[in-house]
Amino acid sequence: MFSSGLRSAIAHVRLFRPLKLYKTLALTFLILACLASPTLAQSPALKLEETIPLTSESPDPALQKALDQVALSRIELGELVGLVILVYKDGAPIYQGAAGWADREAQKPMFLEALFRLSSVSKAFTTMAAGALISRGQLELEAPLGQYLADFSPKNPDLKDPRAAQIAIKHLLTHQAGFNYTFSEKLGGPYHRLKIADGCASSKGVTLEENLKRLAQAPLLSQPGTKYVYSVASDVLGAVIAKAYGQSLPQAMEDLVLKPLGVKDTGFVAQDQEKLTTPYRDAKPYPKRMAEPEFFKSRGDRTLTLSPTRAANPEEFPSGGCGLVSSAPSVMKLLEAIGNEGGGIVDPKVMAIFYQDLIAPAQSSTGQGFGASWAVVTNPTAAKLAVSPGTLQWGGVYGHNWYVDRARGLSVAILTNTALKGLSGTTKNLVLEAIAKVYPVEGNRKNKK
């Protein structure tokens, strides 16, 4: 918590600021846009006189002003509906802000403790649960997958080779096991034919065990350890964690990560559905409320499916790669543990491995490698990120990004309720650039955490 001497701001900014001469034109445009979109026409958030709610707190007026402006501008321009930004430095909060709406149609302002569908931010929690077991000697990075999942024998990528593929636990963390995601393959591919669930769409009653059986029938894309392909590997890792711990994945997550962190609002089902944010998707002129399910077209005939109701359905299987629900403060507790050599959850020697680019020398022009289910920034200039080399980062398709910059002692969590711009839009870069102006990247120093 901040001390009483730190200032708190509550701002209300007009959603539109048209010049007087153009007010009539702006009003006409807005009416036409609303008529063209029944969903938007019903949204009270699009009134000309509407305001954007914002609450923020910081010991640094310059940082507070800069991040407030970033949050308000992204909402005003129609990139986001709502977001929470948390920034910690050397273990203490230097900015906490919530802007926009948790539910635009209900005019419910965003708030710090709001719950979000984490999507791939879940992977960091799953990695730390695996790290906890490795630290206890209950899981081994080099051990074969079959040591923990004896009945799970994925097909060799060479279909003429009858032998099972030799996947190690480390390949699940680095996404080099040879698996795929359904939304990454063409329509009619093996994952589609076998109806393999990815943890983001509804599993339609399929259990984690049944999903693994289906996954084992799909040939691997490559020999384990030879190629990075973002995939359902974290879901398989979740099953391994459950087996190694001897409890369900939700119980293992609770005991290994959540309780040690002092987190009470995180789980595979929303703990308090009143706090669960309404999800939105990109649309013009403003994001629209997600349908159930919601489809996103990508390359060719590839389609990503999101099922917002999954977060409130206890019948869905616990997905270690996409299924957690949490708040920004709880995510920040995890990030602080990651940045602080495991925070007592994972042994520092294990974290030293997790901090590395584990797929090197398979470098790409993006300036980022990949480690323990998160990216490792190897070249900030090439990555176009205002962070230090070695920064860990990842995001989530529902609209999130996180960063752990150990060189500057910084942890940053940006959670939004808007896909896909919350993930891939301008918000993350603007936030990082605003922080860098106050805490320059050039000021790198040894980690003091």
pLDDT at residue 352 is higher than 50: yes
pLDDT tens-place string over residues 230-285 = 999 999 999 999 999 999 999 999 999 999 999 999 999 999 999 999 999 999 99
User: 290-316 in b/e burial notation, b at 16+ Cβ within 10 A?
Assistant: beeebeeeeeeebebebbbebbeeeeb
Q: What is the pLDDT of residue 12?
A: 41
Instruction: Determine the pLDDT at residue 129.
Output: 99
Q: Which has the higher per-residue pLDDT, 122 or 50?
A: 122
- Answer whether the bond into residue 304 is a cis peptide, omega within 30°: no
Count other Cβ atoms within 10 Å, centred on residue 252: 25
* pLDDT at residue 202 greater than cutoff 70: yes
Of all residues in the chain, what percent carry a pLDDT higher than 90? Answer: 81
CB 393 within 8 Å of CB 370: no
Predicted pLDDT at 162: 67
Query: Pick from 20, 96, 191, 78: which is nearest to 413 by CA?
Result: 96
**Token pair 């099922």: residue:** 307
Which residue, among 155, 10, 111, 133, has the nearest Cα to 68 in the 3D structure?
A: 10
pLDDT at 442: 72
Half-sphere exposure for 149 (CA within 13 Å, toward CB): 24
pLDDT for the residue 443: 47
pLDDT of 172 higher than 80:
yes
Going by pLDDT thresholds of 50, 70 and 90, the confidence category of residue 40 is: very low
The rounded distance, in Å, linking the Cα atoms of 428 and 122 is 18
pLDDT in tens, 173-197: 999 999 999 999 998 999 999 999 9
Q: Which residues are catalytic?
A: 120
Which of 426, 428, 410, 402 minimizes the C-alpha distance to 119?
Answer: 402
Q: What is the pLDDT of residue 363?
A: 54
Residue 29, Cβ density class (10 Å: 0-12 exposed, 13-18 middle, ≥19 buried): middle
Name the more confident of 107 and 447.
107
Q: In whole angstroms, what is the distance from residue 56 CA to residue 112 CA? A: 9
Distance (Å, rounded) from C-alpha 427 to C-alpha 421?
A: 8
* Residue 329: cis peptide before it, omega within 30 degrees of 0: no
Give residue 193's pLDDT. Answer: 96
Q: Output the average pLDDT for the chain.
A: 88
Average of pLDDT values for 389-393? 98
The pTM score is 0.89
Angle at 121 between CA 116 and CA 122, to 5 degrees: 90
- As given in the structure block, the two tokens for residue 383 are 């990555």
Separation CA 173–CA 142 (nearest Å): 11
Can you give the pLDDT at residue 78?
96
Check whether 31 has a pLDDT greater than 50.
Answer: no
Instruction: Kindly report, residue by residue over 92-103, the tens digit of the pLDDT.
Output: 999 999 999 999
Give the C-alpha separation, 429 to 384, whole Å. Answer: 8
Contact 443/67 with Cβ under 8 angstroms?
no
Q: What is the pLDDT of residues 209-222, one digit of tens each?
A: 999 999 999 999 99
Per DSSP bridges, beta strands 115-117 and 325-327 are antiparallel
Q: What local confidence, expressed as pLDDT, does residue 159 receive?
A: 61
* Residue range 354-370: mean pLDDT, rounded: 85
**Contacts (Cβ under 8 Å, ≥6 apart) of 299:** none
Contact 67, 48 (CB under 8 A): no
Closest among 194, 287, 177 to 235, alpha carbons compared:
177
**What backbone torsions phi and psi does residue 443 show, to the nearest 5 degrees?**
-85, 30
**Res 371 pLDDT > 70:** yes
The pLDDT value recorded for residue 365 is: 73
Amino acid 91: pLDDT:
98
DSSP 303-367: EEEE-GGGGG-TTS---TTT--EEEHHHHHHHHHHHHTTTTTTS-HHHHHHHTS-TTTT---TTS
Q: What is the mean pLDDT of residues 368-379?
A: 96
pLDDT of residue 298: 78
pLDDT at residue 47 in the model: 44
- Structure-token pair, residue 193: 């034919």
SS3 77: coil
pLDDT average, residue stretch 137-148? 97
